[in-house]
Amino acid sequence: MSSRRPFKNPHAEAEQFRRRAALGFLAVALALVGLGAWYFRLQVLQHADYSTRSEANRIRPRPVVPARGMIYDRQGRLLAENLPAFRLDVTPDKAGDLDALLSELGQVIALSEDEIAHFRKERKSGRGFLPVTLKLRLSDEEMAAFAVNRWRFPGVELQPYLTRHYPYGDLFSHVIGYVGRVDEDDLAKLGDGGAALSHIGKTGIERSYEEMLRGQVGYEQIETNVQGRALRTVGRVPARPGADLRLSIDAELQRAAVAAFGELEGTAVAMDPRTGEILALVSLPGFDPNLFVNGISHDDYRALMDNPSRPQFNRAVLGGVAPGSTLKPFLALAGLDSGIRKPEDRTLSTGMFHLPGTSRGWGDSHRGGHGWTDARKSIADSVNTYYYQLALDMGIGRVQEYLSRYGFGQPSGIDLAGENTGILPSPAWKLKNRKERWYPGDTVNISIGQGDWKVTPLQMVRGTGALADGGRLRRPHLVDARRDRFDAPWAPLPQPAPGQISDSPADLQVVGEGMVMTVHGPGGTARAIGTGIPYRIAGKTGTAQVVSRRGTAAVDPRSLPMHLRHRALFIGYAPADDPQIAVAVAVEGGGYGGSTAAPIARAIFDAWLLGKLPAGMEPIDGVDAPGCAGEAADCPPATAPSTVPAPAATASAGASSTPPSSVADVVTPPAASAQRSPALASDRNPSANSLGNWARLHNADPVRAASGVSAAEAPAASPRVADPASGPRVPPPPDAEDDR
């Protein structure tokens, strides 16, 4: 059976071809339409987006970190500066295997374990496309070695930056503070704008004025090639540098205060009572803030933490001690202002004070008693019994009211973070913190600055400044002025108006006379420092006990180990008739205020008023400070002092044990507040305000003129001698009385 091939149907085939061609044409047309629509979307609808992406592949934004503002002292000396340096940054997304990279890079540049650990920590908390600093402050040799081998390490860049440096090291560690590397907590506070920053203020002025010092981050637009190498800068948003700050601190006075302590530990604060400007703030021991700038090593940090003296602890701001007898001028003023006491009112001191119906006794510094005592003598001779009875007569409520008015139990307001508020004891405080009721014995204890008291040296110097400045309680501050450009004038920072602690100039004068007698009176507890000076000091010594008495017997601090010895305290201002400087000193393990803290204050007064630096110290600027210091040939000649009669009320101070004539001879009452010389603009001018400025303006010696001895011939302060058991001391003369 033969097969027959079917005949072709040309019409059917043609129709089939037409259908297929139409279908293909339609598919091509749809594809072209889709492609056109896609191109339209890319070129028109999404042009801005893809143009930005394309530009981003070619243009890379690079943050520009502003130069941190510099910090100067009142004389224009640089306390915190910026030095050029280079760091090594790694961008994790471009670096590949980080373990291999670190291993190979470590063969070219020395990488410590601390640096690697810090890098890994920052890498985990950061974004992969953002650079992470691996090593800071490369040496010239390290930079050269990396430049030769740079091709081996993709994603690793050598970046210039400004590193912080503190020329005076530990001298200003608790004032300036330091900057440190930005951590996770800092980034959370700064937000996205802070990602470009590598350092931030951690303590001191660096922290308190961080925003002012930091400035504003800028950006550069860098054109790169396909390998990511920078070709040129095509745009820039300039960074705004941080503001420079000028402090009221004087570096020379700061050095003198540190030298006055010798090997002792403690704190001292000097303030201009007319303005609240802090002239010196010392907390010993200190530390080198440069260790923290680029990351402190584990060994250095361990050494600081294991030091029992706690070098990082700012005793002036964060610490606190019982005020001891330095509280007495304030409680005396409270008694006078409240009307509970009059200047001539007297209390009999027999050596031991007893509450009615109790056997426990509270003693005086003299076990035989001080006899009849009025307000002036109670301050000068530090008569405890006067204050025991005064506090009981006032009542704890009134005592708390007045002492709070004087600034105790509240922060002073200084421009440093974390200030301690201290403790002003009261029934409410004791009930809340000790769950105990208040007893009359508590009132007796706090009347002489013992018990649950805690005050900071800043509170002490602030209150002392108010006594010196006619009752005006000012805010102590460190930053005096700012400038936003190196060629811009300094703009003073505004300060709040002072409060008023007393409306009675007469009451303030009585307290001032008592403080003058403390140094220049025959029974004053600080009379050892009152010899050989061409000015008068108004002061008060104090001793804060660390261990309590045994029954009714006092504990001799010299018999105790150093860490259990009493805290030695002194507050004062000078010159007494025209105060230029107020000082508060607290010495840890110092024993007694009159023999340890007072000589330190005297050295500070001498440095500021006379330009007289401690023995062995050379001036910072290489020239002797102006003024009459030591036996300088150009010391101004002495002139006869003006005679200031002693007030009639002063005679009552000697009614018990001191002849009136002797009181009149040694007491020069402070001038009334209306006669006080104001702080002049030149006093804050670095070219005019220097150590010894007072001696230049007052070319007279009221102490030596009467005896024909010039200030240049005045004997120096008693030398500091070393006591093997307790460190350097200035022993009082044989007839001096220590203040308890």
Q: Is residue 65 within 8 Å of residue 82, measured between CB atoms?
A: no
Report the catalytic residues.
325
Here the tokens at position 447 are 């009347």
Phi and psi torsions of 80, nearest 5° = -145, 120
Residue 208 phi, psi dihedral angles, 5° rounding: -65, -35
For residue 60, which phi and psi values (nearest 5 degrees)? -115, 120
C-alpha 362: how far from its chain's center?
38
Longest dimension (CA), the chain: 165
| Cβ(77)–Cβ(251) below 8 Å | yes
What proportions of the chain, in percent to the nearest 5, are helix, strand and coil? 35, 20, 45
479: exposed, middle or buried (Cβ count in 10 Å: 0-12, 13-18, 19+): buried
> What is 202-244 written as a DSSP string?
-SHHHHHTHHHHH-B-EEEEEEE-TT--EEEEEEEE--BPPPE
* Separation of alpha carbons 134 and 710, rounded Å: 64
Q: In whole angstroms, how far apart are CA 646 and each of 649, 660, 667, 670?
A: 8, 9, 7, 11
Which tokens sit at 191?
Answer: 């937000």
The CB density around residue 506, as the number of other CB atoms within 10 Å, is: 12
Q: Which token pair is 204? A: 């001191």
Closest to 648 measured CA to CA, from 524, 510, 511: 510
Q: What does the alpha-carbon distance between residue 468 and residue 464 come to, in Å, rounded to a whole number?
A: 6
- Alpha-carbon distances, residue 54 vs 57, 63, 343, 564 (angstroms): 5, 20, 87, 73
Q: How far apart are CA 626 and CA 677, in angstroms?
A: 21
Q: Which residue has 């405080």 as its token pair?
A: 429
Contact indicator for 132, 90 with CB cutoff of 8 Å: yes
Q: Name the amino acid, one letter, at 565.
A: R
Measured CA to CA, the distance from residue 71 to residue 77 in angstroms comes to: 9
Backbone CA torsion sign across 658, 659, 660, 665: negative
* DSSP strands (E only) in 91-187: 132-135, 156-165, 179-181
Q: For residue 737, with 0-12 CB atoms within 10 Å meaning exposed, 13-18 middle and 19 or more buried, which class applies?
A: buried
DSSP state of 626: S
Cβ pair 373, 395 in contact under 8 A: no
